[in-house]
């Protein structure tokens, strides 16, 4: 999330689709946007 904010100058929570597309390039497994959002929201 910090990399996204630094590179894009935007809040990842404001545009989850753009954040998901940014992150999925770095993840070595397939995850859905819902799975990613659940992981971010969990404490």
Residue-wise DSSP of the chain: -HHHHHHH-S-TTT-HHHHHHHHHTT-SS---HHHHHHHHH--
Residue 32 is predicted with a pLDDT of 92
Flag whether pLDDT at 7 surpasses 80: yes
Domain that holds residue 35: 2-41
Residue 13 is predicted with a pLDDT of 87
Provide the number of structural domains found in the chain.
1
Q: What is the pLDDT of residues 14-43, one digit of tens each?
A: 999 999 999 988 888 889 999 988 988 876
Q: Indicate the pTM of the whole model.
A: 0.73
Residue 19 is predicted with a pLDDT of 92
């Amino acid at each position: 999330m910090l990399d996204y904010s630094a590179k894009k100058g935007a809040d990842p929570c404001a545009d989850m689709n753009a954040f998901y597309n940014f992150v999925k390039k770095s993840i070595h497994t397939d995850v859905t946007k819902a799975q990613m959002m659940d992981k971010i929201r969990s404490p």
